[in-house]
Chain A
Amino acid sequence: MRVLLFLLQKEFKQIFRDKGILVIIFVAPLIQLLVLPLAADYEIKNLNLTVVDHDKSDYSRRLISKIAATDYFKITGSPADYSTAFKDIESGLSDLILEIPQGLANNLVRENSQSLFIAADAINGVKAGLGTGYLNQIIAEFNAELAEEQNPASGIKPFPVIEAVNSNRFNPLMNYNYFMVPGLLALLITIVGSVLSTLNIVREKELGTIEQINVTPIRKYQFILGKLIPFWIIGMLIFTAGLFGVGYLVYGIPISGGSGVLFAYTAVYLIAMLGFGFLISTYSETQQQATSVAFFFLMIFVLMSGLFTPIESMPGWAYVITQLNPVTWFVEVMRMIVLKGSAFVDIKKHFFVTIGFALLFNSWAVINYKKIS
């Protein structure tokens, strides 16, 4: 126990000696947590629409103003022909083109039907799909209006219409920060935890100071605990600051569930991630090696966590990878406890899986760590 205390003293001294590192460890994650949620809004709105109106009749103008009145579209231009409009798509100024052919009004009266032409930049398929869907909805409403005018007497809608009433649970105002802040905090804690332990141990290896420890009677577990405990404390501090300081005070996100459960989970999670970093460092000889391995895994952890892109639509094998990714579980727990107010029973599985990760990474690392080089 006394040995451990001395080791802890040494580690803390080392951490506090390098002020530059200390600033990066604490400030970088919190600033990102403050700023990045604002940059992660995926809602499809304000689509840029170029309208080519060959008709220029009352009907076409009515349709256009109906489209402009919605939140979905911003009419960015109304050139005279399609090829000019297409230039806007090429340069990325516009997402969709609506072309209204000449004689809209006449054709409606004479033939009772008229085709419009929509072209969408489908590089982002979801954007294009939803954008054309919204346009079609507006056109359908336009049709209903026309039909009502033809047959104004009844007061009943001329043909059956199903109205969809939307309600968004847990986040009624669809505030994107509510989702991104807890999720990003999970990501940043992951990066802090694993990077600190990776770099610290391999640094001692590279500088040769690990030799000095190896020749002392310090036991393996004491050395490892001496390394992990300070980083665990730092991780928990950042988590607390992020959750209350940034999440609650700045973004006003209350924790709907029990914060006790959340902290207990995070405590276990951090042990897992510190163990992961430790594991990487047992396999590397230089900091460069350790960093490139850490980079590799962290990129996968971040992008395959379901925070930025949905994981349900990934192919089966990729979905398996997301389930082997500790971050996936943490992001989900954050979402469940902070936003939905889920209780321990709801996240029991996540808890056990994370304990499994912690045991796996740490015992693997301990077995692989040798006191002789």
Chain B
Amino acid sequence: MKLLAMRSQFFTFVWKEFLHVMRDRKTLLMLFGLPISQIILFGFALTNEIKNSRLLISDFAKDAASQQLIGKFEAGSQFIVLEQQANPEDIEAAFKAGDIDLAVIIPSGFYNDLLHLNHAQVQILTDASNPNTASTVSGYAASIIAGYNAELAADSMLPYPVNAEVRMIYNPEMKSAVNFVPGIIALILLLICILMTSVSIVKEKESGTMEVLLVSPFNPFLVIISKAIPYLLLSIINLSVILLLSVYTLGLPIHGSITLLYLISIIFIVASLSLGLIISNLTSTQQTAMLVALLGLLVPSMLFIGFMFPIENMPVPLQLFSNIVPAKWYYIIIKSIMVKGLGLSAILKETAILAGMTVVLLGINFSIFKTRLS
């Protein structure tokens, strides 16, 4: 009888929280609108591929070989070629004004050198004030030149003995959505969950209604759980919408088991909601909670998921730190399920870590939740 009463009490509380959430239409609109619009926006827009770099070719040779090489640069979608005999000062000025990203200088006598010495040089200048772009773009330029070299070698009488057949696994068209969409899913789920729960408890503290809850005979721990349940349901709906959009709009099919994907996603959602609740438990005003979430978590969570910058490039302490970021493990898991089509046995370690973190985060919540007002 007592248990039954507790159950109905619990549902009443969950229902109360639901009403709270549903009543604030503007927030509700954001909670659904944010994931939908952002998954589409970022899914299409974010890429680490660099197309249409503005390339200035300063051709002092103007001979057959230099024209051929310029043709190679013009052929792909990587460069927008601007041909102009520019001296170093002009190039410097163009870099400073931000008009070009890359310059290639072909010295005079280019064809002659190639013909007689079998060796010629071109100079590649990059705007390394953005080193990420610069290294990728100069890599592109180097591989175009390498391709031209291979053609020259094939044309010459000597054989070109060792060659390589290349196969691109998982993503033969090399679409950047395959890399970015799983990362964006992890990022959006994480942030929306934190956004929802980080104010939930502190809001009641601030408005004084928490006191009312605490003096009631209701088990205080159920207060936390009943707060999280509506958001858990909202997040599952969001997850479904996000997955539908990424399959049908962004063209990223789910190769592995959808059930497995859902189960692990729910674990991740619970972890993210708990993180938000911890913030809410530890702060005394909504303003502080929001500052922690926006100022403290927004940018770091983008970087430590590992979908934009490779974690193996980070210094060791930061690599170690990334291990305690739940979203990093979730990103590895969804990539394995969605793109690689792997089963649970292949991601057992990652799933165990994620589940362990979720338990710890929930445990922290229960241990710091104050049942008395200070």
Which residues of A line the B interface, CB within 8 A?
A: 18, 20-21, 24-25, 28-29, 32, 35-36, 38-46, 63, 89-92, 104, 108, 112-130, 132-137, 139-140, 142-144, 146-147, 150-151, 156-172, 174-176, 178-179, 184, 187-188, 191-192, 195, 199-200, 203, 284-289, 291-296, 298-300, 302-304, 308-310, 312-315, 318, 321, 332, 335-336, 339-342, 346
What bracket does the count of chain B residues touching chain A fall in?
Answer: 35 or more
Contacts of B293 in A (CB 8 A): 291, 295
Name B135's contact: one of A42, A142, A191 (CB within 8 Å). Answer: A42
Binds A, one of B6-14, B227-235, B305-313, B359-367: B305-313
Interface pair A143/B34, CB less than 8 Å apart: no
The 18 listed contacts between A and B (C-beta, < 8 Å) are A21-B288, A28-B292, A40-B308, A42-B313, A44-B136, A90-B346, A108-B162, A124-B179, A143-B161, A158-B158, A160-B156, A169-B125, A170-B127, A174-B131, A179-B130, A199-B287, A288-B203, A346-B96
What is the chain B residue whose CB lies nearest that of A182?
B129
Please indicate the chain A residues that have their CB under 8 angstroms from the CB of B81 in the complex: none
Check B122–A38 contact: CB distance below 8 A: no
Q: Of B123, B126, B191, which contacts A299 at CB under 8 A?
A: B191
Complex Cα gap A110–B52 (Å): 45
Assess A166 versus B124: contact at CB under 8 Å? Given A179-B129, A342-B96: yes
Write the nearest CB–CB distance from A278 to chain B, whole angstroms: 15
Q: From B187, which residue of chain A is reached at the shortest CB distance?
A: A299
Known: A170-B129, A284-B26. A300 touches B38 (CB 8 A): yes
Instruction: List residues 163-182 of chain B with CB under 8 A from any CB of chain A.
Output: 163-172, 174-176, 178-179
B interface majority secondary structure: helix
Stretch at the interface among B113-121, B211-219, B241-249, B264-272: B113-121
Q: Are B130 and A313 in contact (CB under 8 A)?
A: no
Contact of B134 among A133, A174, A192 (CB under 8 A): A174
State the Cβ distance, A107 to closest chain B Cβ, in Å.
9
Q: Which residues of A contact B153 (CB under 8 A)?
A: 140, 143-144, 159-161
Given that A117-B164, A162-B120, A309-B47 are contacting pairs, would A29 and B295 also be in contact in the complex, using a CB cutoff of 8 Å? yes
Whether A203 contacts B169 in the complex (CB less than 8 A), given A38-B315, A318-B41, comes out as no
Chain B positions near chain A (C-beta within 8 angstroms): 24, 26-27, 30-31, 33-34, 37-38, 41-42, 44-53, 69, 92, 95-98, 101, 114-115, 117-136, 138-139, 141-143, 145-146, 148-150, 152-153, 156, 158-172, 174-176, 178-179, 191, 195, 199, 203, 283-288, 290-296, 298-300, 302-304, 308-310, 312-315, 318, 332, 335-336, 339-340, 342, 346
Distance (whole angstroms) from the CB of B349 to the closest CB of chain A: 9
A166–B285 alpha-carbon span in the complex (Å)? 54
Q: How far is the CB of A65 from chain B (nearest CB, A)?
A: 15
A24 touches B179 (CB 8 A): no
A-B CB pair tally, cutoff 8 Å: 411
Tell me which residues across on chain A come within 8 A of B309, comparing CB atoms: 39-42, 308
A161-B119, A171-B129 given as contacts; is B48 within 8 A of A126 (CB)? Answer: yes
Residue of A24, A142, A158, A172 touching B288 (CB-CB under 8 A): A24
Contact, CB under 8 Å: B118 / A158: yes
